[in-house]
Structure 1
């Protein structure tokens, strides 16, 4: 019960007192006047408080709905005006010292993470040197730097300005002129960094020219495009770095990619293995072949998974050939597993690769193939492989087929028999 002195409670659904469209408009008009006259951060804080109060009352108010369908609701109009005033308020704030620091740090990040041309590096040096002078004048300090064109070193030189701005503890009202001068200088630094020439700004030919790719051509411009002429010259010099450079910049064209890869196949340098391995991983058959030509055991990981690539016998046979050329006994089992593949070409290539590897553990499965395979081509490959392994046991296994029904098998068996006779004659001598 009430004792008679308490104020009656307002209904939860009742609108806030004195909150109608006209009142809210007047309060926003007052906020506009206050914003125009605000000259300090404190004054702007007062304007923000006015806007917060209007927003709160606007949310609680039960304003009328528009009479016409196409007419804007009063609440929506007020909300739009309120939003615009908040944007104007934020635009009028600052600048702040922390904004200067953030912009300098952004410039540092760009300096360090971007690849620049020589011309771009010179422009960066000028931009940083000018900024150090202007920032030093604003802070009444001396910053020494800007004497080198190395972007990472230039980024480190800007640390002095960041440290000095942090240490100055600049107040947005009391030190407004200093902050404004720093902001103007930092804007110029940002523009200078943005305008400096990046490597990605260059065309493909500009990049190749900058790397000295065309220097090898002289007056030789026989082929088109000219990059092909230069590629041939670099191949003759076995300059893998330049071949890879051409592949990097022009490898997205089928014509130049093929010629670059063919050049790398002929040079067959381990220097190209990483790049070729990446292309092999994309099931590029020519790249898989090049891995074998290079012959490094480091290349095994790039091709071994393709020996059982279902549905692609060409890729499988190329991978098997590459493993044979690499010649590591670590892959003997992977290759031998393909002696029972459904595809005849795959079985034949597996047998020949085992011969190139030369692992005596392959003698027994090769002997089985020679005896049982339905394809004479595969059997001939098995006989050839046994001859390549060349141990007495391997030669004896092949020599048994000197009178084979298939001429191609018989030829390999006769080679095995001749080798055994030669070994016997040498032993008897």
Structure 2
């Protein structure tokens, strides 16, 4: 039935017959698999007459679909796909003329197939897609029949496929290596014989951009570089610069709890980062992350962080407690005086106590300085040093207000 079909009409007739057969199968009272046989064998191995017939019908339908076409719509779909490729792809400087050549070759070929003349008004991507629209409009207007115009339709599909193949061979931006992309964008143009000192050149360029206070170029390099080595150099430069332009990129990376971007956020000092950073200092997990984050919070210096940081004064890790004390000193909130004084009096670690004394000096009010000054005879030299600084920082007026 299918093998004998020569036209679309023949295939339609064959499909109609299959519809009748399928209806007959549905209505037929066919024997079910023997239950005893099902018990003895796996169910998949038991023959089901209905399933076998339906499988045969499905195979015949697939064969019909294979025999159909090609259609003019298939060629139009391929041309539409080529248009989308041209519009959506970033082409290289070498790739653009290759795209122009591919379209012009297609216009000549499709013109021969349709006995028409097609051309472009220019060589821009918009000019090329406009010319392809002209071809599509012409093909659709012809209303080509898959039987009567089978040869023309087949030729149309062939030249459309050739267009797609030629576009696939044209050089796209994504075909370039990272270094080739950066070179094309002028990333290395800042390098001269005089300043070209370090290898690789990417690192050299980052140093130059840092000196020029150009965070945007460093951020672009950060986005492009695939190696952690080069990304690390970018982040180190951004940390030294503390540029607000780096906030979004660093905040996004900090979401993954990466420590270097958190350090950069501290240098930038944008309070928006606190919503993320406060979450990282809760509990006693990962002291290294907490230490870096607390330091960054201290550098941001918002009193909104006072309670969150003060809570870490009782952390199990000495380094976390020490950095929490120093962060409170940087924040400068007088609400931290009492908890810092408690640490200075009671903590088991002398370095932590010294950090508390340093923080009280940073806060610098008479009350804070007095709390530090009381430890002038402390067992720890570091604490004594901070107490002496507090004594020196107190004015005569402060001393007059301080109880004896």
> What range is the shorter-chain TM-score in?
0.7 to 0.9
Q: What does the per-residue CA deviation read over 1:364-408, in whole Å, with 9 as the maximum and x for residues that have no partner?
A: 322222233222222221221122122233223322323333222
CA distance in 2, matches of 1:113, 1:416: 66
Match of 1:245 among 220, 229, 232: 220
Q: Does 1:353 align with 2:327?
A: yes
* Preserved contact between residue 104 and residue 119 of structure 2 (Cα < 8 Å): no
CA distance in 2, matches of 1:403, 1:106: 83
Name the counterpart of 1:42: 9
Name the counterpart of 1:147: 123
Paired residues for 1:263-278 under 5 Å? 263-278=237-252
* Preserved contact between residue 376 and residue 409 of structure 1 (Cα < 8 Å): yes
CA distance in 1, matches of 2:369, 2:115: 89
Q: Does 1:417 align with 2:391?
A: yes
CA distance in 2, matches of 1:357, 1:200: 47
Q: What does the per-residue CA deviation read over 1:106-162, in whole Å, with 9 as the maximum and x for residues that have no partner?
A: 334434444332322333344445556766784968786553146xx8657755655
| Paired residues, number | 379
Is there any run of 5+ residues in structure 2 with no aligned partner, and where?
32-46
Q: What does the per-residue CA deviation read over 1:291-310, in whole Å, with 9 as the maximum and x for residues that have no partner?
A: 21222223334433222364
Paired residues for 1:332-411 under 5 Å? 332-411=306-385
CA 1:161–1:329 in structure 2 vs 1: closer, same or farther (change >3 Å)?
Answer: farther
CA 1:414–1:423 in structure 2 vs 1: closer, same or farther (change >3 Å)?
Answer: farther
Paired residues for 1:129-148 under 5 Å? 131=106, 138=114, 147-148=123-124
CA distance in 2, matches of 1:328, 1:413: 26
Q: What does the per-residue CA deviation read over 1:257-281, in whole Å, with 9 as the maximum and x for residues that have no partner?
A: 3322222222222222222223322
Paired residues for 1:30-69 under 5 Å? 31-32=2-3, 34-35=4-5, 38=6, 40-49=7-16
Is there any run of 5+ residues in structure 1 with no aligned partner, and where?
1-27, 63-72
CA distance in 2, matches of 1:358, 1:249: 40
CA distance in 2, matches of 1:339, 1:139: 85
Name the counterpart of 1:288: 262
* Preserved contact between residue 118 and residue 135 of structure 2 (Cα < 8 Å): no
SS in 1 for 2:375: coil
Name the counterpart of 1:192: 166
Worse overlay, 384-393 or 113-122: 113-122
Q: Which has the larger radius of gyration?
A: 1
CA distance in 2, matches of 1:255, 1:289: 17
SS in 2 for 1:118: coil
CA distance in 1, matches of 2:305, 2:133: 54
| Structure-2-length-normalised TM-score | 0.77
Worse overlay, 75-84 or 93-102: 75-84
